[in-house]
Chain A
Amino acid sequence: MPEPKKLIGEDGRRLDGRRWDELRPISLEVGVLKNADGSAYINWGKNKIMAAVYGPKEVHPKHQVLPDRALLRTRYHMAPFSVDERKNPAPSRREIEISKVIREALVPAVLVEDYPRTAIEVWVEVLQSDGGSRVAGITAASLALADAGINMRDLVVGCSCGIIDSTVVADLDDTEDKEGSGDMPVAIMPNLNQVTLLQVDGIYTRENFQKAFELAIAKGREVYSMQRDALAKRFFSGEPQPMEESA
């Protein structure tokens, strides 16, 4: 086996200069697509992801109709130009699986029972990909759902953690994801304090698992405050409104 690449330097900094618990730069924007009912765009490290929500709308084909709730359709897709080597645009095994886990991460937050016999479509399009694109996709998709005015119990926010050079670190980028020895994407509903996505690969000790899990949640809450700011910017002109008095 080849000698594993050194991912943390002598000074304790990672390849891109971050400390172990530092996030990559993140920016979020809500309401970027005119024709979608709700949309959001996220820049997370080198990830550039667009999320769009359409619906609630009629379900086609009709046999998929759920009589008591909405059908939440999710598609995670990577553009052919999103990676160094052209990616075949047909949905791969990985994309189909990520579509499924994103759907299952979002469903607990959406009040699907409020929209019986309808479909709500969530499209997550990765325009440029880096590590942690599923959690970035979930973060953007939940903003797009809120922008579309779908009833939601809470926003959903994701963050990944992992192990590189036997150390637990936050927010792996592409190299760390590939060269490192463990990746743990986590999505949470921050107000409800519930986990909606938890995937793990690699080998963890109990201590490392606990540490990575708690770090992912803490960092997810940091991203949540950015989500709030993005919504405030779109809907409340960025500034909180003063309390008013009226009859």
Chain B
Amino acid sequence: MPMVQRKQVIPGDVIATGNHRYGSYIEKRGDEYVALRIGLAEVGPDGVKLNPLTGPYLPRAEDQVIGKVVDINGFGWVVDINSCFDGFLPASFVFGREFSPATHDLSSKFKVGDVIGARIESFDRSRDPQLSIRGEGYGKFPEGEIIKMSPTKVPRLIGRRGAMVNFISERTGCDVKVGQNGVVVIVGPPEGMAKATAVVKMIDQGTHGADLMGKVEEYLGGSSVAGA
């Protein structure tokens, strides 16, 4: 098994030297790889990686996000996606090619205040992120509890290939929808929702070590067979 070295870093710390591939939040200076964020750095066969422990959500193409419609104009919906940039969902992505502002009523589809799941179609430095609801599981969420969490903790909530979020759904009987922008929507029976909400908050607040699954299991009680 190849060794992965882990290291706690703060901005300015050298994570590794030499020649590696490197990911986000890392800057290369000469042959040094320097951290730009507070986080846990990994040096392994895949290169140098940094998992930040804090930070805002910055949109990236292909991210799945949950947002709230804040405005409607003639051409689409403006969606608050918990970021410094507002998402824009063009009406033509929803009504199709034949969309015309004269014949289609945008508020018949989504009203201001509606919570929707969407995918980030495109985003670059010069334009605000463009959203799309094409695909399974996107569109309006008619009910549920909305929780905001730190976007840097979202990967912990999702778990390896969705293991954590599936486990929570299974144990609480709730549907847990997670946006990569740190917005979570939980739908289900009241007692399950209370439990699921508490677990999401626990994952958000703590700095957890390796056995987060164990902690969640203990919290939700019952035998450990069902999950995995």
Is the beta-carbon distance between A231 and B38 smaller than 8 angstroms? yes
* Interfacial chain A residues near B86, Cβ < 8 Å: 58
Q: Give per-residue flags for A218-247: 1 if the beta carbon is below 8 A from chain B beta carbons, else 0.
A: 000000000010011001110011011111
* B84/A55 in contact, CB under 8 A: yes
The A/B interface has a contact count, at CB < 8 Å, of 95
CB pair A57–B84 under 8 Å, yes or no, is: yes
- A139: Cβ under 8 A from any B Cβ: no
CB B199 to nearest CB in A, in angstroms, measures: 21
A235 in contact with B53 (CB, 8 Å): yes
**From A120, which residue of chain B is reached at the shortest CB distance?**
B84
Determine if B12 and A147 form an interchain contact, defined as CB atoms under 8 angstroms apart. no
Q: Is the Cβ of A247 less than 8 Å from the Cβ of B54?
A: no
B152 neighbours in A (Cβ, 8 Å): 149
Kindly identify which residue among A55, A56, A150, A235 contacts B207, using a CB–CB cutoff of 8 Å: A235
Interface hits, B5-34 → A, CB 8 Å: 5-8, 10-14, 25, 27, 34
Q: Kindly identify, within residues 23 to 57 of chain B, every residue whose CB is under 8 Å from any CB belonging to chain A.
A: 25, 27, 34, 36-38, 40, 52-56
Please provide the chain A residues from 189 to 235 with a CB less than 8 Å away from any CB of chain B in the complex: 189-192, 228, 231-232, 235
Asked if B102 is at the interface of the complex by the 8 Å CB criterion, the answer is no
**Could you tell me if B126 and A153 are in contact, using CB atoms closer than 8 angstroms?**
no
Cα of A77 to Cα of B58 in the assembled complex, Å: 30
Contact string against A for B residues 203-227, beta-carbon threshold 8 Å, 1 for contact and 0 otherwise:
0000101100000000000000000
A118 to B57, CA, bound (A): 13
Indicate whether B1 reaches chain A with its CB closer than 8 angstroms: yes
Residues of A within 8 A of B194 (CB): none
- Beta-carbon contact of A37 and B56 below 8 Å: yes
- Residue pair A228, B10 in contact (C-beta under 8 Å): yes
Partner of A148, one of B5, B6, B54, B58: B54
- The answer, yes or no, to whether A96 is at the interface (CB within 8 Å) is no
* Chain B contact surface mostly: loop
| B54 in contact with A236 (CB, 8 Å) | no
Closest partner residue, chain B, to A57 (CB atom): B84
B228 on the A face (CB < 8 A): no
Q: Determine whether A127 belongs to the interface, using a CB cutoff of 8 Å to chain B.
A: no
**Is A111 close to B, CB under 8 A?**
yes
Whether B4 is near chain A, meaning CB under 8 Å from some CB there, is yes
CB distance from B17 to the nearest CB of A (A): 14
A111: which B residues are within 8 A, CB to CB? 36
**In the assembled complex, which residues on chain A have CB atoms less than 8 Å from the CB atom of B53?**
149, 235
B54 touches A149 (CB 8 A): yes
Contact of B8 among A38, A151, A232, A246 (CB under 8 A): A232
Say yes or no: B12 contacts A192, CB within 8 Å: yes
Option from A146, A149, A241, A243 in Cβ contact (under 8 Å) with B56:
A149
Which listed residue, B4, B12, B38, B85, touches A149 by the CB 8 Å rule? B38
CA distance A192 to B34 in the complex (A): 11
- Cβ contact within 8 Å between A148 and B207: no
CB of A67 closer than 8 Å to a CB of B: yes
Write out the residue numbers on chain A whose beta carbons fall within 8 Å of the beta carbon of B38.
146-147, 149, 231, 235
Which residues of B sit under 8 angstroms from A235, Cβ to Cβ? Answer: 8, 38, 53-54, 207
- Taking a contact as CB atoms under 8 Å apart, the answer to whether B207 and A155 are in contact is no
B1 contacts which chain A residues (CB < 8 A)?
Answer: 245-247
Task: Give the contacting residue for B12; candidates A37, A118, A154, A240; CB below 8 A.
Answer: A154
Which of B's residues lie within 8 Å of A, judged by CB? Answer: 1-8, 10-14, 25, 27, 34, 36-38, 40, 52-56, 58, 84-86, 125-126, 152, 207, 209-210
Minimum-distance CB pairs A-B, first 9: A149-B55, A154-B12, A152-B11, A191-B12, A149-B54, A151-B36, A56-B84, A118-B84, A116-B125
Given contact pairs A146-B10, A147-B54, enumerate 11 new A-B contacts (beta carbons under 8 Å): A37-B56, A38-B54, A115-B58, A116-B125, A146-B11, A149-B38, A152-B37, A191-B34, A232-B8, A235-B38, A245-B4
- A interface residues with partner B (beta carbon < 8 Å): 37-38, 55-58, 67-68, 109, 111, 115-118, 146-155, 189-192, 228, 231-232, 235-237, 240-241, 243-247
